[in-house]
Amino acid sequence: MGIPKEKWGFSIPIVAPLYPKPPIIWPGAEVQLILYETDEENVDKVIPEPLEPSGNKVIAWISHFPVSTQGRFYEAALYVQVKFDKYKGIYEPFLYVTNEVPLTGGREIWGYQKKLANISLSLEREYVKGVVERAGVKIMEAITVLERPAKIEELPFGPIFSLKYFPPAEEGGKPFAQLVLTEGKLQPRPGQFFGGRGSIRLERSEIDPTYILEPKRVIAGYFGIFDAELPFGKVVYEYKW
């Protein structure tokens, strides 16, 4: 007869779930951010239909989560500005972590485009340096100089779009796909968010082509300590085949 579905764990394996039910909570996260401009046509190359670009600004994110409901790990991403129907927000075409728990949970619940990578984040003298390396290539390298107090409103954050996509399990079957919108919470701790000069370099890799979002002009760099929370999302579009 097997285990009744009412007694399954939230995630698989059903007898030993890998990750818990949202919200996912990240207190005291160390986050580096680089805000830069690219060509809007580059944004269109990395987003799924029916999303459309809503601007040319990109947020590069490299972070360290020392403790969370997904364990300890590093994460890195590139966020682009998008819109769909009445919704405006951001989308992550490139997203990397160092731990299989946030990788699996992020992909299975919301559809975040996660891969495993080597990520480091360090405070060195007057600057913060973040590096993301995969397949021997530095697909993201960022530097922020800490020069002034900053406000989170300086960055074009918003609700996060994600593509929940599962290939078919049998030959000739149809994929399952949804466009999901999630209102995450990201709050810097008082007096612990700084801005200044920033730089970013995206090396060319055809396995992880972050270089598509080529920086044209760097606006600023940021670093701070954040408390963050990620709840369940909302399905805003169902894909049909």
DSSP string of 27-75, one letter each residue: EEEEEEEEEEE--HHHHHTSS-TT-EEEEEEEEEEEEEESS-TT-SEEE
Contact by Cβ (8 Å): 145, 194: no
HSE of 50, CA atoms in CB hemisphere, 13 A:
12
Q: Which two tokens stand for residue 131?
A: 């590096």
Count other C-beta atoms under 10 Å from residue 178's C-beta: 18
What's the pLDDT band for 124 if we cut at 50, 70, 90?
confident
DSSP string, 129-190: EEEEEETTEEEEEEEEE--EE--GGGS---PEEEEEEE--SSTT---EEEEEEE--EEEEEE
Report pLDDT digits (tens) over 136-193. 999 999 999 999 999 999 999 999 999 999 999 999 999 999 999 999 999 999 999 9
> pLDDT of 17-76, one tens digit each?
999 999 999 999 999 999 999 999 999 999 999 999 999 999 999 999 999 999 999 999
Domains of the chain: 21-158+185-234 (2.40.400.10)
Vertex 96: Cα angle to 209 and 176 (nearest 5): 85
23: DSSP letter: P
Q: Which residue, 95, 139, 143, is CA-closest to 115?
A: 95
Distance CA 60, CA 232 (A): 24
Tally of CA atoms within 13 A in the half-sphere of 52 that contains its CB: 6
* Residue 107 banded pLDDT, cuts 50, 70, 90: very high
Q: Which of 62, 58, 57 is nearest to 32 (CA)?
A: 62
Cis peptide bond prior to 13, omega within 30° of 0: yes
**What 3-state class would DSSP assign to 122?**
strand
Q: How many CA atoms lie less than 13 Å away from 42 in the CB half-sphere?
A: 17
**What's the predicted TM-score (pTM) here?**
0.96
Residue identified by tokens 């049998």 is 170
Residue 239 — pLDDT band, cuts 50, 70, 90? very high
Report the relative pairing of strands 114-116 and 87-97 from DSSP bridges.
parallel
At 217-238, the pLDDT tens digits run 999 999 999 999 999 999 999 9
Percent of residues, the chain, with pLDDT higher than 70: 100
Provide the token pair at 203. Answer: 């090396």
- In this structure, are residues 79 and 67 in contact, taking their beta carbons and an 8 Å threshold? no
C-beta of residue 90 within 8 angstroms of C-beta of residue 51: no
